[in-house]
Amino acid sequence: MRLVYRIIKENRIILLAGLSMWVFVLAATFLSILLQGPPEQGNNLPPVHLPWSQIFMHNAGLAILYIILGNLTFGSLAFLLMLYNIYIVSYAIYYTYMHTGSIGFSIAIIFTHGILEIAAMLLCFLLSTTSLRWAMNKIYKKTIFSINSVETKAGLVVCMMLLYLVASVIESYLSPIVPAKFLGLEIVQ
């Protein structure tokens, strides 16, 4: 627990930047949903069950690619990929609302597992900006951003993968059930 607190404290600027992007875009999505009229269609979006291993491998593979590409581009691609991920989640919430007419269902289908995935994406963002933080420190010839040790980075990768693993199990087994019960829908196998 002390390690997690230390990592958050040392990297609070990067983590707060990523978190603030998430909060801003998701708040704008919910405001957009609340400001428009009810959708014309309703209850025609049955949840689909996917194997947790498939979800995990997809998320883990993308995270590794995200970290590599982010560091190769000195964080610029990391920032764009974070915005793209936020856009996809925002669109998924909006799309779900437009097809079900239920804000509760839209939130439940995403956030039963999404909180853990967002935390993992923030760790991924932190790891993918290492070269940017290193370059900024070299350019200004002082420590502006903390550079994590190899051991800390390994711990962050393990923590990120564990978050993705738990999120994939929840996404596979719980995310389809909770919203389906909420609207009385059948799960598509």
Q: Quick one: pLDDT at residue 153?
A: 87
Q: Quick one: pLDDT at residue 37?
A: 64
Q: Is 188 helix (H, G, I), strand (E, B) or coil?
A: strand
Return the sign of the alpha-carbon dihedral for residues 109, 161, 21, 16. positive
Per-residue pLDDT of the chain (189 residues; tens, 9 = 90+): 677 677 777 777 777 888 888 888 888 887 777 777 666 655 556 666 789 999 999 999 999 999 999 999 998 898 898 888 888 888 888 888 887 777 777 777 788 888 889 889 988 998 998 888 888 888 888 887 777 788 888 888 999 999 999 999 998 888 777 766 766 666 555
Q: Quick one: pLDDT at residue 120?
A: 92
What DSSP character marks residue 134?
A: H
Q: Quick one: pLDDT at residue 66?
A: 92
Q: Quick one: pLDDT at residue 43?
A: 54
Counting beta carbons within 10 angstroms of the beta carbon of residue 175, is it exposed (0 to 12), middle (13 to 18) or buried (19 or more)?
buried
Q: Quick one: pLDDT at residue 160?
A: 93
Q: Quick one: pLDDT at residue 152?
A: 84
CA 17, chain centre distance (Å)? 14
Give this prediction's pTM: 0.81
